[in-house]
Amino acid sequence: MLADVTNDINIWISRSTRGTPSPVRSSLNVMEESGLTMISQTAEYALRAVVFLGKNVGTAYTADQISKATQVPAPYLSKVLQPLIKARLVQSQRGLGGGFSLEKKPGQITILQVINAVDPIERIEVCPLGLDEHSSNLCPLHKRLDDAVALIEEAFGKTTIQELLESPSKVQLCLFPNTTGAKDAQ
């Protein structure tokens, strides 16, 4: 069912962007422009940073290095990293040779943990319209929407950063440049 939803979203995205000039942008950006978002920009940035660090386990990177590699604005990235540190997904070390690295192995961190650390996915627990007759139960529309969110949470909760890094694909993950020697380039 989740694959069908994802396919429908991808079809919708491709139809909605036909004929328009297309700078480099993710499906998230297209969804945001249309008013439809699945995760926030903050969560997207956090995922980029964690995937980058997961690809480069054992090496600490400065916020500036992560920013350049992931195309996340440096001042914003610094703010995004703080809740990841608090959630014990990322660690920081001050001083010479310091920087940011993963606190856990990529196989121990899920997409859901990263998202929930910075901007948790909201479930529909009560009627968004505040209708008294819906106080104890959601209407069919909001129940279906919440069921879809539950499926997304389940999929994100089952997907580790390691799985993303190992997924066979024709497209390189997140277009990160080769980071070999990135520490020496400073």
CA distance 151 to 169: 23
Q: What is the pLDDT of residues 116-163, one digit of tens each?
A: 999 998 888 887 787 877 777 888 888 898 899 999 999 999 999 999
Q: pTM for the whole thing? A: 0.71
Task: Please determine, for residue 102, whether its predicted confidence score (pLDDT) is greater than 90.
Answer: yes
pLDDT of residue 136: 74
Q: Say which residues have a Cβ less than 8 Å from residue 142's Cβ, sequence separation at least 6.
A: 124, 127, 128, 134
CA 93 to chain centre: 24
Task: Give the percent of the chain with pLDDT over 70.
Answer: 70
Q: Say which residues have a Cβ less than 8 Å from residue 87's Cβ, sequence separation at least 6.
A: 113, 116, 117
Q: How confident is the model at residue 24 (pLDDT cuts 50, 70, 90)?
A: very low
CA 136 to chain centre: 32
Q: What is the pLDDT of residues 29-54, one digit of tens each?
A: 434 444 446 788 999 999 999 999 99
Angle between helices 74-86 and 111-118 (to 10 degrees): 110
Average pLDDT score over the chain: 77
- The half-sphere exposure of 127 on its side-chain side, counting CA atoms within 13 A, is 12
**144-173: buried (b, 16+ CB within 10 Å) or exposed (e) per residue?**
eeeeeeeebbebbeeebbbebeeeeeeeee
Gap between the terminal Cα atoms of the chain: 47
- Picking from 151, 146, 115, the residue whose alpha carbon sits closest to that of residue 42 is 115
Q: Taking residues 70-96, what's their average pLDDT?
A: 93
Task: Give the percent of the chain with pLDDT over 90.
Answer: 48
- Picking from 45, 48, 170, 53, the residue whose alpha carbon sits closest to that of residue 103 is 53
pLDDT of residue 150: 93
35: tokens are: 């008013």
CA distances (Å), origin 62, targets 77, 102, 162: 11, 13, 22
Strands 90-93 and 99-102: antiparallel
What fold does the segment set 39-175 form as a domain?
Answer: Arc Repressor Mutant, subunit A (1.10.10)
